[in-house]
Structure 1
Amino acid sequence: MAGGNAIRGTRVGAGPIGESERGESAPRRRVSYWCANGHEVRPSFAVDADEPEFWDCPRCGCPAGRDEEQPPAPPRNEPYKTHLAYVKERRSDSDGKAILDEALKRLRERRGE
């Protein structure tokens, strides 16, 4: 005896669906982009669409350009900086010492020293 499922063996999206049900697809063209690592990416665009100047390479994530001989340079990765490194960029050692002395003075006054 069957399990009572009338649509057994099918799934959403299954079945013959073609141009007659979806409509005609727009005419397409493929455009080549190259990244600094030599990977070629060929996304497709509608014939009447403007293609972008750059495209992200799906293999390495670098930007890819239309010129195979002169691909765009990979982005420069900045090393991770701590909060203290950013503070030291803005303040000199003498500024830091003055701020610390002022904070310690206020703390000692609050404690009654």
Structure 2
Amino acid sequence: MAGGNPIRGTRVGAGRMGEAERGESAPRVRLQFFCGNAHTTTLAFASDAEIPETWDCPRCGLPAGRDRDEPPPPIRNEPFKSHLAYVKERRSDADGEALLAEALERIHARRSPSAAESD
């Protein structure tokens, strides 16, 4: 019986079947990337693939480049900002005071008719 199940006679995790069953693998290029913490990462790319300028180091997360002597600088992360910090960036203190005065006037206007009715 020539047909049948191609997996028959193997077990899960048995490893490679060999190039004859899978076909030939694509030609590869092995390149090294270096990060600022002196970690070296070796990666394999298809020979016709576009090679990236930087790669994230799998050990420390810093960007890694092809030049061992001059690795790329770390990416500058902005610190966490609260909603109030963003508001303060958009508005000056004078704008904030004007908005607060308007809001307080509205609150007093809503409360004053109800206070007059309760007398």
TM class by shorter chain equals 0.7 to 0.9
In the other structure, the counterpart of 1:64 is: 64
Runs of 4+ in 1 over 3 A off after TM superposition: 10-16
Report the CA distance between 1:29 and its aligned residue: 1.7
- Count of residue pairs brought into register by the alignment: 104
Encode CA deviations 1:56-87: one digit per residue, 9 max, x unaligned.
Answer: 11111111111111110001122111100111
Are residue 37 (structure 1) and residue 37 (structure 2) matched?
yes
Q: Percent identity?
A: 64
Encode CA deviations 1:28-52: one digit per residue, 9 max, x unaligned.
Answer: 1211111111111111012222311
Change (3 A) 1:11 1:111: farther
In the other structure, the counterpart of 2:98 is: 98
Please give the TM-score of this superposition, normalised by the length of structure 1: 0.81
Report the CA distance between 1:95 and its aligned residue: 1.0
Letter aligned with residue 111 of structure 2: R
Output the CA distance in 1 between the equivalents of 2:48 and 2:111: 75
Aligned-CA RMSD value:
1.8
Report the CA distance between 1:15 and its aligned residue: 6.2
